[in-house]
Chains A and B, each alone.
Chain A
Amino acid sequence: MITSRNTAKAALWLILTFFSAASLWLLLEAEFLAITLILIYVGAVMVLFMFVIKMLDTDQSTLRAQFTRYLPLGIFVSIVVIVQMALVLNAGPFDLEVVGMPEKHGSSYSNITAIAEQLYTIYVYPFELAAILLLIAIIAAITLVHRNQINSKKQIISEQINVQAKDRMKFATINKDKVKESK
């Protein structure tokens, strides 16, 4: 995904990665989160990404120009991190003999029910905070992107206060002869 030449193709590769992650989470008996990942990430977030990618005309040539410049640094940093993690994981504190396989739940076990029982009792305040956070995100996103419409009818308070009496009434001169002629 990260070496893809086209940003839209990179987004598609990321969607594939999310599907694989969701299947792994299904193996780990996290059905609710796996479905949430597909619904929210693939269905909403990645569609938003594709929308922005296609809407903004990104010049690929200038973006690709510096690709090789940071390639050694990127590879170096990732190799360092991989070596660190390999040193920790190879020591074997998380092997099957140490941790062991937990008991599989029966067919009557519902992951959603189990999550809901915890979410609405112990974690109810964080849950409501998350709701407020999403509300703030909605307002912020709309405020940032929304552009004022020129022809929309809205109240201009300064004009209302500064209005003069002569602006209120307009005298029209009517030509009597023309009115009679039209009759």
Chain B
Amino acid sequence: MIALSDYLILSSIVFCIGLAGIFINRTNIIMILMCVELILAAVNTNFIAFSFYGSDLSGQIFVFFILTVAAAEVAIGLAILTLMYRNRGSIDIDVTNTLKG
């Protein structure tokens, strides 16, 4: 029997791995995008676990919308990435300091 807390512990660990990945691979935009995907997967697992143990389908429908938004985000993110590589010849985040912020 798998308890709800087991799913929550697993997804919190996956969430932390994704968070650490963003910090570790700070200069690589592709890795950052993939770590965001990992974090979203952890959050979705949380939603579905609560939906199952609470016998309420709303959680699954919310996950459906999260998947939609994440797909749109990845498409636009990768388009921007391609554009950036075409203009600068690199996808290193440290190169993108034109605004001097």
Q: How far is the CA of A37 from the CA of B45 in the complex (A)?
A: 11
CB within 8 A of B52: which of A44, A92, A102? Answer: A102
Q: How far is the CA of A126 from the CA of B58 in the complex (A)?
A: 12
Instruction: Decide: A70 and B61 in contact? CB cutoff 8 A.
Output: no
Instruction: Decide: B3 and A145 in contact? CB cutoff 8 A.
Output: no
Instruction: Decide: B15 and A81 in contact? CB cutoff 8 A.
Output: yes
Residues of A contacting B98 in the complex (Cβ-Cβ under 8 angstroms): none
User: Knowing A14-B34, A56-B91 touch, does A74 contact B24 (C-beta < 8 A)?
Assistant: yes
Instruction: Decide: B24 and A7 in contact? CB cutoff 8 A.
Output: no
Instruction: Decide: B34 and A1 in contact? CB cutoff 8 A.
Output: yes
B interface residues, tally (CB under 8 Å) = 70
Interface-lining segment among A111-119, A157-165, A169-177: A111-119
CB distance from B78 to the nearest CB of A (A): 5
Q: Which of A51-74 contact B (CB under 8 A)?
A: 52-53, 55-56, 58-59, 62-63, 66-67, 70-71, 73-74
Q: How far is the CA of A140 from the CA of B60 in the complex (A)?
A: 28
Residues of B contacting A14 in the complex (Cβ-Cβ under 8 angstroms): 34, 37-38
Query: Could you show 29 A-B contacts with beta carbons less than 8 Å apart?
Result: A2-B17, A7-B28, A10-B34, A24-B10, A25-B45, A28-B52, A36-B64, A40-B67, A40-B71, A44-B71, A45-B70, A49-B33, A52-B81, A55-B82, A56-B91, A59-B92, A62-B27, A70-B24, A78-B23, A86-B9, A89-B9, A95-B4, A96-B3, A102-B54, A130-B65, A136-B72, A137-B73, A141-B79, A144-B83
**Residues of B bordering A, CB below 8 Å:** 1-5, 7-10, 12-28, 30-31, 33-35, 37-38, 41, 44-45, 48-49, 51-55, 57-58, 60-61, 63-65, 67-76, 78-83, 85, 90-92
Starting from the known contacts A70-B24, A102-B53, 19 additional A-B residue pairs (CB-CB under 8 Å) come to: A1-B21, A1-B34, A21-B44, A28-B48, A40-B67, A49-B74, A52-B78, A58-B30, A66-B27, A74-B24, A77-B19, A81-B19, A85-B9, A89-B8, A96-B1, A119-B64, A123-B61, A133-B69, A140-B76
